[in-house]
Amino acid sequence: MSAAPGLLRGKSPGLTLARRSLALILLCLLLLPFADLRVIAVDPWGELWRMAQGFAWPDFLALENPLRAIALTVSVALWGTFIGALVGFPLALLFHHSRLIRGFCAFVRAIHELFWALLFIQVFGLSAVTALAALAIPYAGIFAKVYAEILELTPRAPTDALPNGVDRLSRFLYAELPLVWDRLASYTRYRFECAMRASVLLGFVGLPTLGFYLESAFRESRFGEAGALLWIFYALIATLQWWGHRRLLPVLLIGALFFLGPWPEVDSDLLWRFVSHDLWPAPLLDGDLAGLGEWVTSLPDLLPAIGNTLLLALMGTVGSLILALVLWPLASRHFGRPWQRVGGRLVLVVLRSTPELMLAFIFLLMLGPSMLPAWLALALHNGALIAFLVARHADGLKTGMTDLPATGRYAYELLPRLYPNLLALICYRAEVIMRETALLGMLGVATLGFYIDSSFQYLMFDQAFFLLLVTAVLNIGIDAISRRFRPREVPLDDPCSR
Amino acid sequence: MALLTFDSVDLGYGTQIVLPALTLTLEAGERVALLGQSGAGKSTLLAEIRRRLGKAAAWCPQGHGLVPLLSVYHNVYMGQLERHAALANLFNLLRPRRGAWQAIETLTHELGLEGLLRRPVEQLSGGQRQRVAIARAFYQQREIFLGDEPLASVDPHQALRLLERIQTRHSSSIIALHQHRLALAYFDRIIGLRDGHVVLDAPARELTLSQLDALYPDAGNSSHEDRAATTT
């Protein structure tokens, strides 16, 4: 007779993953005391109640000219995605051949859309160029990477069947592109949904999209108006499959041109001065190395900011993991009654459709400025997104023993099959969470984003640009770490999780 | 006249040798059936024959190798992709070339695919896809037909008709298949492979069904056509 193995002892892949996840959660718990999680607001529940009222009784009549904001939001998202795809596609073809291109793409997608917007506002003002560039540039990098991954999986059989001597372009057009077209299209569609959220967010830096009106309505406690705007946004996302139909796209793209604006008058001298001079530390341009040391000491204290950024990213990732584990049964056919599932699915869709910054902003008004609202927003948004994907995966599985109780089904039948995939999704998502963490600084949480935002406000572009570079490097680092941590050979890799 | 000669050659992929020390001569004008279990080395041998014959042979691969999203017309057109400039091929995706359209329409008529020219291949049945793959090989217009189980997913009656078409259009053919009766009745020569070795090589008229069945020791009573369908 042998003794039963001790707690978490064993070599099965499930136990390995469980140990890894528990270590991550433990690390997060150990570091939690260093996070600033105070509730500063006086009456958080009253505030929440008033917001909920505004959401339940939206005041559509108070909106001034919402159509213009809607049209601009959609137009920016459409053209931002379109230009991003147009640039990203050729980059994807070269992606695996050129280290330079891979590095470039990693860099542009490591910086959040809003930071690109802050950068371009300095040159192009609150204009359509700023909005489009803010979306198109990071999206080009993302498209390049994901398209390249999809193209890599092209089935080889049709190419092998071709006669000898077919030129490269014909081979690509006939025997490669059509085989992956559906996946490319569905990813582009998902990215467009992200672009809609990002386009709303551009309102937070002053571009007159839906987010602009949302922010002012929330800030001035006009919750009925805010509720109405949120409803409009959810309606737009929910009806996307109809108004964003493939056949309507050319019409939409052309129509959108009429709503994009204003177009800036670009002063090329100013632009050149900005790129060649303003963005760089003056001592560096003068070749004054001693001065450079002084410049570095004039930077704000970066270590706490970096620490906060990393801590928040860790907390966000662990929070998403736990929430995803709890939430996915809400939307799965293996649990609950049909009407409960409809409700669960609705909650998840609303949570994942709301831009994280928006969620954080709402929690911030409720709880006051600390890391708590940021954490809640990151965990809820990403947890719901992953829960939704996991539920979809679970619905494709068949359980062997039908009459197990719900906990048995969860723990013995489903979770062991879903967990590697869930953890892989979390690892993919860690990069996104990191990017958003930096962004939440714009709401006053003392992450890197806070200093970037204030550097731009004080017109210290060299400092802002340097901090952006630091953010990008951190992001690329986190991406590399999560890639090592990620379980290998996962059955389902959904590009729509990135 | 010898079409191809293998003189104690090792064939395989990379460092893995599938057919060691192969010695074999194929004659021009011959109709050769390749028999053997899955994994016996038929595909490896056909791939090497295809490589050596180059542009002299039309090729009909195992599992069809079709592009599901493209129409029947475009899939068949791919048989002559190398004969046109890239721009012409690009334009053909948007608007079919008139000459090619007519030639392919005649071909598909012959193979019982009339009226399906515009239909995406993903909407076709298994048997129809098989015939599209054969049409594409015909459209290559070569002297020699090379096929890796081109009759795997059609019923015996159709297989016979398709085989007749293949042989009237090509002076030589080398075809891997699992239908033993067809092999005996419609080929000049039968080559049997087992575990990477040629264990049978004789004129078809000198062979019997039971000799061919001996090539499949693991099969028991199950039908060969069934297994062929599952491997494709």
- A306 and A236 within one domain: no
Cβ contacts of A335 within 8 Å, gap of 6 or more = A329, A341, A406, A409, A410
With 0-12 CB in 10 A as exposed, 13-18 as middle and 19+ as buried, what is A350? middle
Q: Tell me, what CATH number does A155's domain have?
A: 1.10.3720.10
Q: Which one of B55, B64, B70 has the shortest CB-CB distance to A178?
A: B70
Burial code (b: 16+ CB inside 10 Å, e: under 16) for A246-267 equals eeeeeebeeebeebbeeeeeee
Q: Which amino acid is at A97?
A: H
- A355 and A416 within one domain: yes
Per the structure, the complete domain to which residue A483 belongs is given by 13-41+299-497
Residue A292 lies in a domain: no
Chain B residue numbers with beta carbons less than 8 Å from the beta carbon of A171 are 81
Q: What is the pLDDT of residue A226?
A: 92
Residue B91 in contact with partner chain A when CB distance is under 8 A: no
Residue A285 tokens read as 């341009």
ipTM of the complex: 0.82
Rounded to 10°, the helix A66-94/A210-219 angle is 120
Q: Which one of A162, A165, A182 has the shortest CB-CB distance to B78?
A: A162
Residue B64 tokens read as 């069809």
- A361 and A403 within one domain: yes
CA distances from A395 to A329, A331, A350, A398 (A): 10, 9, 20, 8
**Residue B12: strand pairing partners:** B17
Minimal Cα distance from B54: which residue of A? A164
3-state class percentages of chain B: helix first, strand second, coil last, to nearest 5: 45, 25, 30
Cβ contacts of A393 within 8 Å, gap of 6 or more = A418, A421, A492
Residue B54 in contact with partner chain A when CB distance is under 8 A: yes
Residue B122 in contact with partner chain A when CB distance is under 8 A: no
Q: What is the pLDDT of residue A229?
A: 93
Between CA B91 and CA B107 the distance in angstroms is: 22
8 Å CB contact of A163 and B140: yes
Q: What is the pLDDT of residue B224?
A: 46
Closest CA to A202 of A121, A109, A110: A121
Residue A246 in contact with partner chain B when CB distance is under 8 A: no
CA distances from B95 to B89, B90, B91, B193 (A): 10, 9, 6, 46
CA distances from A31 to A282, A312, A367 (A): 38, 10, 21
Minimal C-alpha gap between B195 and chain A (Å): 24
8 Å CB contact of A167 and B86: yes
Q: What is the pLDDT of residue A411?
A: 85
- A67 and A21 within one domain: no
- A203 and A72 within one domain: yes
- A335 and A228 within one domain: no
pLDDT tens, residue by residue, A324-371: 999 999 888 888 888 888 888 888 888 888 888 888 888 888 888 888
- A132 and A29 within one domain: no
Chain B residue numbers with beta carbons less than 8 Å from the beta carbon of A174 are 67, 70, 74, 78, 81, 89, 93
Is a pLDDT exceeding 70 seen at residue B221?
A: no
Residue A169 lies in a domain: yes
In whole angstroms, how large is the CA radius of gyration of chain A?
24
Minimal C-alpha gap between A186 and chain B (Å): 15
Of A245, A266, A287, the last residue of a domain is A266
pLDDT tens, residue by residue, B30-75: 999 999 888 888 999 999 999 999 889 999 998 888 998 899 999 9
Residue A328 lies in a domain: yes
SS3 A337: coil
Q: What is the pLDDT of residue B76?
A: 94
Residue A279 lies in a domain: no
8 Å CB contact of A175 and B79: no
User: Looking at chain A from residue 333 to 372, which residues have their Cβ under 8 Å from any Cβ of chain B?
Assistant: none
SS3 A453: helix
Which of B64, B74, B81, B121 is the best residue to mutate to test the A interface, defined by the most A CB atoms within 10 Å of its own CB? B81
Where are the extended beta strands (E) located within B137-232?
A: 144-148, 172-176, 189-194, 197-203
Residue A334 CB neighbours (<10 A)? 18
Which residue ranges in chain A fall short of pLDDT 70? 1, 488-498
Residue A470 lies in a domain: yes
With 0-12 CB in 10 A as exposed, 13-18 as middle and 19+ as buried, what is A83? middle
Cβ contacts of A19 within 8 Å, gap of 6 or more = A8
Minimal C-alpha gap between A151 and chain B (Å): 15
Residue B74 tokens read as 């475009």
Q: What is the pLDDT of residue A494?
A: 55
Q: Which one of B66, B70, B81 has the shortest CB-CB distance to A170?
A: B81
Minimal C-alpha gap between B168 and chain A (Å): 21
8 Å CB contact of A169 and B79: no
8 Å CB contact of B89 and A160: no
Residue A456 lies in a domain: yes
Of A214, A244, A266, the last residue of a domain is A266
Is a pLDDT exceeding 50 seen at residue B230?
A: no
- A162 and A81 within one domain: yes
Between CA B171 and CA B148 the distance in angstroms is: 18
Residue A50 lies in a domain: no
Residue A172 in contact with partner chain B when CB distance is under 8 A: no
- A218 and A113 within one domain: yes
Between CA A357 and CA A175 the distance in angstroms is: 43
Minimal C-alpha gap between B158 and chain A (Å): 23
Q: What is the pLDDT of residue A492?
A: 45
Burial code (b: 16+ CB inside 10 Å, e: under 16) for B201-229 equals eeebeebeeeebeebbeeeeeeebbebbe
8 Å CB contact of B61 and A161: yes
Chain B residue numbers with beta carbons less than 8 Å from the beta carbon of A170 are 81-82, 84, 86, 89-90
Cβ contacts of A251 within 8 Å, gap of 6 or more = none
Of A212, A247, A266, the last residue of a domain is A266
Cβ contacts of A293 within 8 Å, gap of 6 or more = none
Is a pLDDT exceeding 90 seen at residue B21?
A: no
Chain B residue numbers with beta carbons less than 8 Å from the beta carbon of A173 are 89-90, 93
- A195 and A121 within one domain: yes
**Residue B33: strand pairing partners:** B175, B190
- A141 and A29 within one domain: no
SS3 B175: strand
- A204 and A67 within one domain: yes
How many domains, in total, are found in chain A? 2
> Apex CA A213: angle with CA A209 and CA A216, to 5°?
135
Q: What is the pLDDT of residue A488?
A: 65
> Apex CA A313: angle with CA A308 and CA A317, to 5°?
150
8 Å CB contact of B86 and A169: yes
Minimal Cα distance from A159: which residue of B? B65
Contact call for residues A49 and A382 (beta carbons, < 8 A): no
Residue A287 tokens read as 């070749």
CA distances from A114 to A138, A196, A230, A349 (A): 10, 13, 20, 23
Residue B129 in contact with partner chain A when CB distance is under 8 A: no
| Backbone phi, psi, residue B99, to 5° | -60, -45
- Pairing of the two strands B189-194 and B197-203: antiparallel
Residue A185 in contact with partner chain B when CB distance is under 8 A: no
Q: Please indicate whether residue A94 or residue B1 has the higher confidence score (pLDDT).
A: A94
pLDDT tens, residue by residue, B77-119: 999 999 999 999 999 999 999 999 999 999 999 999 989 999 9
Is a pLDDT exceeding 90 seen at residue B222?
A: no
Contact call for residues A488 and A17 (beta carbons, < 8 A): no
Chain A residue numbers with beta carbons less than 8 Å from the beta carbon of B69 are 178-179, 181-182
Which domains does chain B carry?
2-231 (3.40.50.300)
Helix (H) or strand (E) holding B52: helix B42-53
